[in-house]
Chains A and B, each alone.
Chain A
Amino acid sequence: MAETRYTKDHEYIRIEGDTGIVGITDYAQGQLGDVVFVELPSIGKSVTKGGEAAVVESVKAASEVYAPVSGEVVEVNSELEGAPGTVNEDPAGKGWFVKLKLKDPAELEGLMSEGEYQNYVKTL
């Protein structure tokens, strides 16, 4: 079973072997409102933990999506270019952003678990 970890900036990373699927949480999409555009990185790009991995735009705001951990972009969800609303409809599933090949799995340790994240959201 895949394990999912969370950041305080509301990104998730779902671990599948040595890769992780990155997206934004349901809470984040709710805060953003209707997503109208997603800017994705190019495949092969190296991202560092906390660095910009993508940009998500609603009508009124543009927000950076930060990489939860360091790694190399191996796949991007190009479906989002034509259907950015998928981020709102299914953030944890079809609305994912990028797949990263993890550089250092130890970086996952600093991230929140599902339960910890849900408690964190309650404090906001």
Chain B
Amino acid sequence: MRYLPLTDTDREDMLARIGVADIDALFSDVPADKLLKTPVDLPRGRGEAEVERILAKMAGRNRSASSMPFFVGAGAYKHHVPATVDHLIQRSEFLTSYTPYQPEIAQGTLQYLFEFQTQVAALTGMEVANASMYDGSTGTGEAVLMAHRVTRRRKAVLSGGLHPHYAAVVQTLSEMASDEVVTLPADIRASEDILAAIDDETSCVVVQSPDVFGNLRDLRPIAEKAHAHGALLIAVFTEVMSLGAVTSPGEMGADIVVGEGQSIGNALNFGGPYVGLFAAKAKYVRQMPGRLCGETVDADGRRGFVLTLSTREQHIRRDKATSNICTNSGLCCLAFTIHMTLLGQAGLALVAETNHANAVKLAEGLAGVKGVELLNETFFNEFTLKLSRPAAAVVEAMAEKGVLAGVPVSRLLPGQGLDDLLIVANTEVNTDEDRAAFVAALAEVL
């Protein structure tokens, strides 16, 4: 086996040195009747070429985003990632290192985490950010738990514009922890009265902007009402690229900001791995989940970085930890940091503007199509269409015509009478030809 350096001679010599007759003598604590005598019922090992063949065949059965005009979003987005990013994250010293338990030989990881935290704090307009969560959805669950710790209350109010998967994650976690959740009905036009749902028992209000239907939401009045009742505002985003074009949640009064960072640096990957961004006001830092990297000096007074405030974490606090999280999203947050460094604020603003311009162009192109209604007043790079036919069937029919059109709302919210709604995303990778193909295919199908 090409990954195993020991030879049979080595193995014999080593067993002799240990002083046992055979390898199974080292497995003597395994009950004899449970020790497998033969390999399990799976194929034998294979060479590289054969493994490649098998997997390439599976991969070949999928239609990739780059292979056709592509408008699918709703929480994960197709953006262009510079080649530099993927090269750098595959450097051995990044790829094969681990949690920086020994900071003297992990400054590479620690310094990029510090850069990452700084970037996330700046983007979200917050004072502190952690070294990442698994993804936006699990980060949202953690944000709600954090708000409960801060406020010592146990009721979360979820906006109807929150991504349904994110809402489900919060609901599942809350049900298991016996916490209360009030979920407002699906709010397609951003018209819900979330202020009315906030009272003195509310721990936090969770609002996504742009919301899952693409609407931008003004968080300021929500922050004001929440704070008046001693509650926190948790601002969520699934499209981090939007922060290059819209007012940051921090500026609008959010107490905790959490979201998905996939769009910067990371591929679609059929849903993961992604990178959760998590930021908060500095006064809540000790209630934050996840790793934090901080600046310090070494014995010679040189600047260096270490993991810090670890007493919040599971390996020290055990059952009193702020979270059970251990790993973060390491390489994905490195990819984010490198891409963000290449962009800079100038590049990010430009890419964001292009996303928005492209979406506006598509919206305008749809104006003349019969049976299509744009529901959004505002949007960034994604909006919701009301169609004259069920959206799921439209998407299937358009896929046959070579266009991946978007996400039917019924896939996220089945059985709610929202079958005619389609969420359409448009990023900088979409061309005028792509948009023309979308409009033509939709017109034909409807």
Contacts and interface: CB of A to CB of B under 8 A. Distances in A.
Does chain A touch chain B in the assembled complex, meaning CB atoms less than 8 Å apart? yes
A61 B309 CA distance: 10
Name the 8 nearest CB pairs between A and B, nearest first: A62-B311, A57-B311, A62-B317, A62-B316, A61-B316, A60-B316, A61-B311, A37-B311
A57 B316 CA distance: 10
B310 A59 contact: yes
Contacts of A37: 286, 311
Interface in A41-92: 57-62
A17 B68 CA distance: 82
Contacts of B316: 60-62
Contacts of B317: 62
Contacts of A60: 310-311, 316
Q: Which of A39, A57, A60 has the most CB of B within 10 A?
A: A57
Interface of A: 36-37, 39, 57-62
Nearest to A63: B311
Interface string B308-340: 001100001100100000000000000000000
Given A58-B311, A61-B311, A62-B311, 14 more contacts: A36-B311, A37-B286, A37-B311, A39-B286, A57-B311, A59-B310, A59-B311, A60-B310, A60-B311, A60-B316, A61-B316, A62-B316, A62-B317, A62-B320
A58 B317 CA distance: 12
- Label chain A's interface by main secondary structure: strand
17 contacts: A36-B311, A37-B286, A37-B311, A39-B286, A57-B311, A58-B311, A59-B310, A59-B311, A60-B310, A60-B311, A60-B316, A61-B311, A61-B316, A62-B311, A62-B316, A62-B317, A62-B320
B395 to A, nearest CB: 52
A60 B310 CA distance: 7
A40 to B, nearest CB: 13
A39 B310 CA distance: 15
A58 B311 CA distance: 8
A4 to B, nearest CB: 28
Contacts of A39: 286
A37 B287 CA distance: 13
Nearest to A62: B311
Contacts of B310: 59-60
B128 to A, nearest CB: 15
A62 B311 CA distance: 6
A78 to B, nearest CB: 15
A52 to B, nearest CB: 10
A63 to B, nearest CB: 10
A39 B320 CA distance: 14
Contacts of A36: 311
Nearest to B313: A62
A62 B320 CA distance: 10
A46 B270 CA distance: 53
Contacts of B286: 37, 39
A14 to B, nearest CB: 27
Contacts of B320: 62
Nearest to B318: A62
Contacts of A57: 311
A22 to B, nearest CB: 21
A56 B264 CA distance: 40
Contacts of A62: 311, 316-317, 320
A37 B286 CA distance: 10
Nearest to A59: B310
A37 B316 CA distance: 14
Interface string B395-439: 000000000000000000000000000000000000000000000
B100 to A, nearest CB: 15
Nearest to A64: B320
A103 B48 CA distance: 75
Contacts of A61: 311, 316
A59 B306 CA distance: 11
A61 to B, nearest CB: 6
A8 B42 CA distance: 58
Contacts of A58: 311
A39 B149 CA distance: 14
A3 B320 CA distance: 35
A58 B308 CA distance: 11
B253 to A, nearest CB: 25
Q: Which of B310, B311, B316, B320 has the most CB of A within 10 A?
A: B311
A43 B361 CA distance: 60
Interface string B281-316: 000001000000000000000000000001100001
A61 B312 CA distance: 10
A62 B309 CA distance: 11
A60 B317 CA distance: 10
Q: Which of A58, A61, A62 has the most CB of B within 10 A?
A: A62
Nearest to A56: B311
B37 to A, nearest CB: 45
A123 B169 CA distance: 52
Contacts of A59: 310-311
A57 B310 CA distance: 10
B323 to A, nearest CB: 15
A8 B286 CA distance: 29
A94 B153 CA distance: 34
